[in-house]
Homo-oligomer: A and B are copies of this chain.
Amino acid sequence: MSVAKRIKTGAPTPIETLLDLAADDMDAVDAIIRNRMQSPVGMIPDLAEHLVGAGGKRLRPLITIASAHLSGYQGTGHHNLAAAVEFIHSATLLHDDVVDTSSKRRGKKTANLIWGNAPSILVGDFLFARAFNLMVETESMKALEILSTASSVIAEGEVQQLASIGNIDMSESTYRQVIGAKTAALFAAAAEVGPVLAELNDKHQRAMQTYGQELGLAFQLVDDALDYGGFEVALGKSIGDDFREGKMTLPIIYAFDQAKNKNDSDAVAFWTRVVTENAQEDVDLEHAISLLRKEGAIEATLKAARLHADDAIEALDLFEDSEWKSALAELAIFVVDRVH
């Protein structure tokens, strides 16, 4: 049943199926998260609670939990690793909001706006270190390797994105490198540690690595499309953030390519100005969205996302059918269908 049909018929949406299956595990993960964000230094739990209490979807730890079950893992190490994955993610969010000078996250004021940049940087460092404490406790050197490598790849992706801000000539291939690193690497690591904990063979590890990587790419493509087409209330974030930052994402890369191919000098001049000069006026976002719609750039981005979601689902073929396998497949559909 498609997600749209499920919603019409009142059937649970996929994320609910997965959340039901994983409910006890996610309670355990939540308990670890809340326990390990404590510190005698009061500003740390206050700031961490602001982010954690803001009710993110906890997609990444959910992937670790589901992947461990899919792999037949019987222990409790997946709880620690799932919490570690969420801590790494939270640390990057805190630092990203400082880097992007964001003011809104998950529908609430960002930590950097409330506490300032310095505490956001340092509490991010704290959460990142705590993630490694949690990983050490699972005693899986392989999981540590996967997650520490992912962490350096994420930072590389963030720096590469930063370096390409305002660069109207950024290629689609560079863009894909950036999102593969800054977003998909953590999804991939979150998925890969499941078969690692269960001590399955390399083939299974690679399959889950692919699942996570493809899911992460789909997720980021949808996110980049939503930045030009969602609704602020539904999203809990303001639209046009990427645009105002001069951040090159696939919708703009598509539209700018189209403009060049058609020798549409007005559109070429418009995109060049808004991306490179970083001096957009209020009407520019509206004009950008109308150009993106006219060129089908949002739809093309969403279509690319759906292809990655398909690849994620295909990677699950290696595993025997189970409720966890279905839930992970449906998660991939959910990620690309949340736009509706």
Contact = CB atoms under 8 A, between A and B. Distances in A.
Interface of A: 39-44, 91-92, 95, 98-99, 117-119, 121-123, 125-126, 128-130, 132-133, 135-136, 139, 141, 144-145, 148-149, 151-152, 154-156, 158-160, 162-163
Q: Is the interface of A mostly helix, strand, loop or mixed?
A: helix
A92 B124 CA distance: 12
Contacts of A44: 156, 159
A159 B117 contact: no
Contact of A148 (B123, B129, B151, B160): B129
Contact of A132 (B99, B132, B156): B132
Nearest to A88: B129
Given A117-B117, A126-B159, 13 more contacts: A39-B156, A43-B159, A44-B156, A91-B125, A95-B125, A98-B121, A119-B162, A121-B121, A122-B155, A123-B159, A126-B152, A129-B152, A139-B141
Contacts of A40: 156
29 contacts: A41-B159, A41-B160, A42-B163, A43-B162, A43-B163, A44-B156, A98-B118, A99-B121, A119-B159, A121-B121, A122-B158, A122-B159, A122-B162, A125-B154, A125-B155, A128-B128, A128-B151, A129-B148, A129-B149, A129-B154, A129-B155, A132-B132, A132-B151, A133-B145, A136-B141, A136-B145, A136-B148, A139-B141, A141-B141
Nearest to A40: B156
A126 B95 CA distance: 12
Contacts of A154: 125, 129
B132 A155 contact: no
A126 B155 contact: yes
A269 B163 CA distance: 48
Contacts of A160: 41
Contacts of A156: 39-41, 44, 126
Given A41-B163, A117-B98, A149 B133 contact: yes
A123 B154 CA distance: 11
A132 B148 contact: yes
B144 A129 contact: no
Nearest to A132: B148
Contact of A133 (B117, B128, B148, B163): B148
A159 B163 CA distance: 29
A91 B123 CA distance: 14
A44 B155 CA distance: 9
